[in-house]
């Protein structure tokens, strides 16, 4: 099976490490030709996870996305959600015919307010049966250090999800499979928003006691949203466990970990940085920023009670002072 990766950031690099450590040769699309030449020469990505070294014989590098797509049976899309449309713009409408797509994106596409599978169905006629998502809890930095981590592969076609997951199984990486492909993607969107809020709380000098209550309420709010968005999960699949690692576990690590860019971004907002200044300082994409706007737009339709996500949105997009926003949050936590 030929596997391709689209993207060259920290998460894409971590996934490339996992796949090559498991003996796979990969087709890897990297936009910048200078980066390609540096990887070929220095055997590592100079911009992300530079401690990870690759065997060049396992890497087929190209800045031609059509070439990478054509040569691959399974494609892992691992670019920030805001850049997906630009990355795929050179592809013809039949580019993904007969291929399996694995989304490593942890956000909604802000241009269209859609999940990747919805966009691929609309623009490339990709059936949901050929679409899978891969989510944590799993930070790229810990993958680089080969600390034991878990990835959840989700797809309506669970047998194929198991087959894909096996390509990623290593001594330091265990895999889990579930079928809630829509739910896990929205959980990933929400956990970034809540982690950004956790960072704001830290920047405002709230302590661990408050943060534990904040995260517990965020977990409840996430479950409320998912049940409103996907009521069939409750009726048809009552066994879905929203305390599982791909839901609660990913929320916890993203809120607590110092590797979390959303937490870091929020911490700067809490300390008084403007959104623009925080973006420049971070110099990486914090998915929770755009996600906060996208999720509120989605919620206009389903009308779930999500006051924490709403308050984070108001702080980021409507200039609500962070201290004032968290005084509001204090009043409805329990």
Q: Do domains 3-179 and 182-332 have the same CATH topology?
A: no
The neighbour count for residue 217, using CB atoms within 10 Å, is 17
pLDDT for position 187? 96
Whether omega before 137 lies within 30 degrees of 0, making that bond cis, reads: yes
The neighbour count for residue 221, using CB atoms within 10 Å, is 20
**Closest to 260 measured CA to CA, from 199, 184, 172, 185:** 199
pLDDT for position 66? 96
Q: How far is CA 36 from CA 11, 29, 64, 228, 238, in A?
A: 17, 9, 11, 45, 47
The answer for residues whose C-beta is within 8 angstroms of residue 19's C-beta and 6 or more apart is: 3, 5, 26, 167, 168
Q: How far apart are CA 123 and CA 314, in angstroms?
A: 32
Question: Do 193 and 309 meet the contact criterion of CB atoms below 8 Å apart?
Answer: yes
The answer for residues whose C-beta is within 8 angstroms of residue 102's C-beta and 6 or more apart is: 74, 75, 76, 77, 132, 133, 134, 153, 164
Which CATH architecture best describes the domain 182-332? Orthogonal Bundle (1.10)
Domain boundaries, the chain: 3-179, 182-332
How big is the chain by its Cα radius of gyration, in Å? Answer: 19
pLDDT digits (tens, 9 = 90+) for 116-156: 999 999 999 999 999 999 999 999 999 999 999 999 999 99
pLDDT for position 17? 97
Q: How far apart are CA 25 and CA 14, in angstroms?
A: 15
Q: What are phi and psi of 187, to 5 degrees?
A: -60, -40
For residue 286, the SS3 value is coil
pTM over 0.85: yes
Token pair, residue 119, equals: 């966009």
Split the chain (334 residues) into runs of 10 and give each run's mean pLDDT: 95 96 96 94 94 95 97 96 94 97 93 95 97 94 95 94 96 95 95 97 97 98 93 61 94 94 96 93 86 95 96 97 97 93
Q: How far apart are CA 19 and CA 2, in angstroms?
A: 11
pLDDT digits (tens, 9 = 90+) for 153-210: 999 999 999 999 999 999 999 999 999 999 999 999 999 999 999 999 999 999 999 9
Percentages of the chain per state (helix, strand, coil), in multiples of 5? 55, 10, 35
Total count of residues recorded for the chain: 334
The answer for residues whose C-beta is within 8 angstroms of residue 138's C-beta and 6 or more apart is: 14, 149, 150, 151, 173
The answer for residues whose C-beta is within 8 angstroms of residue 280's C-beta and 6 or more apart is: none
Q: How far apart are CA 195 and CA 197, in angstroms?
A: 5
CATH number of 3-179: 3.40.50.720
pLDDT for position 235? 47
Q: How far apart are CA 99 and CA 17, in angstroms?
A: 22
Q: How far apart are CA 295 and CA 313, in angstroms?
A: 9
Torsion of CA 250, 46, 7, 154, to 10 degrees: -30
Question: Do 214 and 266 meet the contact criterion of CB atoms below 8 Å apart?
Answer: no
């Amino acid at each position: 099976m030929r596997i391709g990766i689209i993207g060259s950031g920290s998460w894409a690099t971590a996934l490339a490490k996992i796949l090559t450590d498991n003996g796979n040769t990969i087709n890897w699309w990297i936009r910048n030709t200078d980066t390609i030449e540096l990887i070929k020469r220095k055997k590592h990505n100079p911009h992300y996870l530079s401690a990870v070294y690759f065997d060049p014989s396992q890497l087929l590098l190209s800045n031609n996305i059509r070439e990478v797509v054509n040569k691959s049976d399974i494609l892992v899309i691992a670019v920030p959600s805001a850049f997906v449309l630009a990355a795929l713009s050179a592809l013809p409408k039949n580019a993904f015919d007969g291929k399996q797509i694995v989304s490593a994106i942890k956000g909604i596409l802000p241009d269209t307010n859609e999940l990747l599978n919805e966009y691929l169905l609309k623009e490339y006629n990709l059936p949901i049966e050929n679409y899978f998502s891969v989510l944590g809890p799993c930070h790229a930095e810990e993958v680089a250090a080969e600390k034991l981590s878990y990835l959840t592969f989700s797809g309506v076609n669970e047998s194929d999800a198991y087959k894909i997951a096996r390509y990623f199984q290593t001594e330091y990486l265990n895999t889990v499979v579930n079928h809630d492909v829509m739910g896990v993607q929205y959980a990933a969107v929400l956990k970034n928003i809540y982690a950004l809020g956790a960072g704001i709380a830290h920047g405002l000098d709230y302590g661990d006691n408050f943060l534990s209550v904040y995260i517990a309420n965020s977990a409840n709010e996430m479950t409320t949203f998912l049940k409103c968005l996907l009521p069939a999960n409750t009726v048809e699949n009552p066994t879905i466990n929203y305390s599982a690692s791909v839901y609660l576990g990913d929320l916890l690590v993203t809120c607590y970990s110092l590797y979390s860019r959303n937490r870091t971004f929020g911490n700067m907002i809490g300390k008084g940085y403007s959104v623009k200044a925080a973006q420049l300082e971070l110099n990486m994409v914090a998915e929770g920023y755009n996600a906060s706007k996208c999720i509120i737009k989605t919620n206009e339709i389903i009308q779930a009670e999500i006051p924490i996500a709403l308050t984070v949105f108001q702080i980021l997009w409507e200039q609500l002072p962070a201290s004032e926003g968290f005084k509001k949050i204090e009043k409805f936590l329990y």
